[in-house]
Amino acid sequence: MQTPEEYELSRRGVLVGGAASVATVALVPAVAAGAATAPAATPTTKVSFKVNGADRELDLDTRVSLLDALREHLHLTGTKKGCDHGQCGACTVIVDGRRINSCLTLAVMHDGENITTIEGLGTPDRMHAMQDAFVEHDGYQCGYCTPGQICSAVAVLDEIRAGVPSHVTADLTAAPTVTAAELRERMSGNICRCGAYSNIIDAITGVAGAKA
């Protein structure tokens, strides 16, 4: 017959041994599952494009946006990351003559294309006419949206010259003209939280008039 001390010792041993067995059984599949789901190497690919007139080649994760490729890999930080959802227009760049939101497109989608950022339009010593006009007409306040505004404005005038209609173009059979209504509609994807919209329209109109 067991004494109370012997009974307690054997009971404790059974409990400890049982817990150890359960832990071992649970650990084996967990280790096996961990080995089976080890993360694969991040896929990368070489991307070549012309940026501001210079040939550039990058080895990029295929998930990198064009915006992050420009800012983080090429260090062209003039293009701004605002909402990162295609709603503010701060990241606007010009790709093969068309303005796009660079946050909404992958860098690998633009292999072989020609990309122009705000740095490629002009420099402080030799500014683009649109940059000059934004300074002259105070087309900015904080300036965060300005690179996207200027890139978009340059492309807008090219669209009008090419005869591309907008939602407010009254006669689709006639070439659109540079009016305040046309410019407001075409620039509506570029948000200025400071509210410099009227000055921006004046700047674009001034450049359009000068070129005309």
Query: Quick one: which of 190, 111, 100, 202 has its CA closest to 149?
Result: 190
Task: Tell me the pLDDT tens digit for each residue of 21-56.
Answer: 555 555 555 555 555 566 677 789 999 999 999 999
Task: Tell me the pLDDT tens digit for each residue of 154-209.
Answer: 999 999 999 999 999 999 989 999 999 999 999 999 999 999 999 999 999 999 98
Taking the CA atoms of residue 83, residue 147, residue 53 and residue 156 in that order, the dihedral angle to the nearest 10 degrees is 90
Tokens standing for residue 144: 């965060």
98 and 50, same structural domain?
A: yes
Residue 99 pLDDT exceeds 50: yes
Residue finishing a domain among 75, 91, 120: 120
206 and 137, same structural domain?
A: yes
Tokens standing for residue 34: 């961990």
Task: Tell me the pLDDT tens digit for each residue of 102-122.
Answer: 999 999 999 999 999 999 999
206 and 186, same structural domain?
A: yes
Q: How far apart are CA 88 and CA 173, in angstroms?
A: 31
8 and 88, same structural domain?
A: no
Q: What is the CATH number of the domain that holds 186?
A: 1.10.150.120
* Cβ pair 52, 117 in contact under 8 A: yes
Q: How far apart are CA 147 and CA 117, in angstroms?
A: 8
205 and 140, same structural domain?
A: yes
204 and 167, same structural domain?
A: yes
Confidence at 15, pLDDT banded by 50, 70, 90: low
pLDDT (mean) for 121-139: 95
Residue 93 pLDDT exceeds 60: yes
Task: Tell me the pLDDT tens digit for each residue of 58-84.
Answer: 999 999 999 999 999 999 999 999 999
Return the SS3 of 25. helix
Count of domains in the chain? 3
pLDDT at residue 212, rounded to an integer? 45
162 and 106, same structural domain?
A: no
Residue finishing a domain among 93, 120, 147: 120
206 and 126, same structural domain?
A: yes
11 and 69, same structural domain?
A: no
Residue finishing a domain among 69, 91, 120: 120
130 and 112, same structural domain?
A: no
61 and 20, same structural domain?
A: no
* pTM (two decimals): 0.79
128 and 63, same structural domain?
A: no
* Boundaries of domain holding 139: 122-211
pLDDT at residue 116, rounded to an integer? 98
